């Protein structure tokens, strides 16, 4: 039943994308932007920034930043895990250990969810604070064959946005897409309009994970390419730590039209900083 529900959702999404190439949109007047700020010279995160340190341009118009939060808002962490035939044996065990370690590191008010995928996309667990339910759902998908990464990441992003909180999607795969209904271009176009940040971990092979590279860039996340899964636990924990160091910048748009696509430019005043953030948002009509 869960497979059918996820597939139906993706089918509806395909129709919506065919109609207008728009899926995600801002739901409130205030705009929230997840921002990672690192030191250009030292590479580590820059902490302790205040609203006055940020410069936000909305379609080229400077905005008044009202709020900068750090760790006050709970996380919605969604794991999208490749369970195809190539993820078996030690690789599967490493994936389970890394996922379980990540869940152990979540705060009391955080939630987690799980999407498992091969050529099928299965909802392993909806967003929940009952993390044992997520662990119990980390089982291989029957009839594992092809890989539907695009459909799975779309389902994971929908799940990440299904409740209040900061949406983080972590995708693991050791292959490229061979089975999705959605196209990469349409999915990326939708992702650029989402509040969810996507990080991806790809086991290195002769096939380059270009879709995951573009997806993480579009949402302000990061792609990790690893040679072996033995260190996967450290990578997952690194993703969570980095995400917790991201600022949640909020402002109410001023001097710009409410509807349509808004380009965002975020910078830090007077600091040699590298800023990663989503490139824009779709305003409410």
**pLDDT, tens digit (0-9, with 9 covering 90-100), for 200-218:** 999 877 778 999 999 998 8
Residue 89: pLDDT band (50, 70, 90) is confident
The pLDDT of residue 263: 92
Percent of the chain residues topping a pLDDT of 70: 88
116 burial (CB, 10 Å; 0-12 / 13-18 / 19+) is: buried
The yes-or-no verdict on residue 93 having pLDDT over 70 is yes
CATH (residue range 2-21+72-244): 3.40.50.410
Poorest-confidence range of 17-21, 79-83, 89-93, 198-202?
A: 17-21
| Averaged confidence pLDDT in the chain | 87
266 burial (CB, 10 Å; 0-12 / 13-18 / 19+) is: buried
The angle at the Cα of 96, spanning 81 to 140, to the nearest 5 degrees, equals 55
The yes-or-no verdict on residue 199 having pLDDT over 60 is yes
* pTM listed for this prediction: 0.87
Cα separation, 107 vs 74, in Å, equals 8
Neighbours of 21 (CB within 10 A): 12
| Collapsed DSSP state (helix, strand, coil) of residue 208 | coil
The arithmetic mean of pLDDT across residues 33-50, rounded, is 93
| Collapsed DSSP state (helix, strand, coil) of residue 35 | strand
The pLDDT of residue 20: 41
Read off the pLDDT of residues 63-72 as tens digits, 9 standing for 90 and up. Answer: 999 989 877 7
The yes-or-no verdict on residue 113 having pLDDT over 90 is yes
Cα separation, 75 vs 108, in Å, equals 10
Name the helix (H) or strand (E) containing 2.
helix 2-20
The yes-or-no verdict on residue 1 having pLDDT over 70 is no
Give span(s): CATH 3.40.50.410, the chain.
Answer: 2-21+72-244
The yes-or-no verdict on residue 28 having pLDDT over 50 is no
């Amino acid at each position: 039943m869960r497979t059918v529900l996820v597939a139906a959702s993706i089918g509806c999404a395909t129709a919506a994308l065919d109609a207008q190439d728009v899926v995600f949109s801002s739901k409130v007047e205030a705009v929230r932007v997840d921002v990672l700020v690192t030191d250009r010279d030292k590479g580590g995160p820059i902490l302790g920034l205040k609203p006055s340190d940020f410069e936000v341009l909305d379609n080229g118009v400077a905005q008044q930043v009202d709020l900068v939060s750090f760790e006050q808002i709970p996380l919605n962490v969604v794991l999208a895990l490749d369970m195809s035939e190539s993820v078996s044996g030690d690789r599967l065990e490493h994936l389970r250990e890394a996922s379980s370690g990540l869940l152990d590191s979540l705060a009391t008010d955080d939630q987690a969810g799980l999407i498992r995928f091969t050529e099928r996309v299965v909802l392993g667990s909806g967003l929940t604070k009952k993390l044992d339910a997520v662990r119990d759902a980390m089982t291989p998908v029957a009839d594992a064959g092809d890989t539907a990464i695009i459909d799975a990441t779309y389902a994971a992003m929908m799940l990440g946005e299904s409740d209040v909180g900061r949406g983080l999607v972590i995708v693991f795969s050791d292959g490229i897409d061979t089975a999705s209904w959605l196209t990469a271009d349409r999915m990326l176009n939708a992702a650029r309009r989402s509040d969810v940040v996507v990080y991806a971990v790809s086991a290195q092979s002769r096939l380059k994970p270009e879709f995951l590279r573009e997806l993480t860039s579009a949402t302000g996340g990061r792609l990790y390419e690893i040679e072996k899964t033995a260190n996967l636990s450290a990578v997952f924990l690194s993703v969570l730590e980095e995400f917790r160091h991201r600022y949640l910048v909020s402002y109410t748009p001023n001097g710009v039209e409410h509807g349509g696509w808004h380009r965002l430019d975020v910078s830090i005043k007077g600091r040699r900083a590298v800023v990663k953030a989503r490139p824009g948002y779709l305003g409410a009509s």
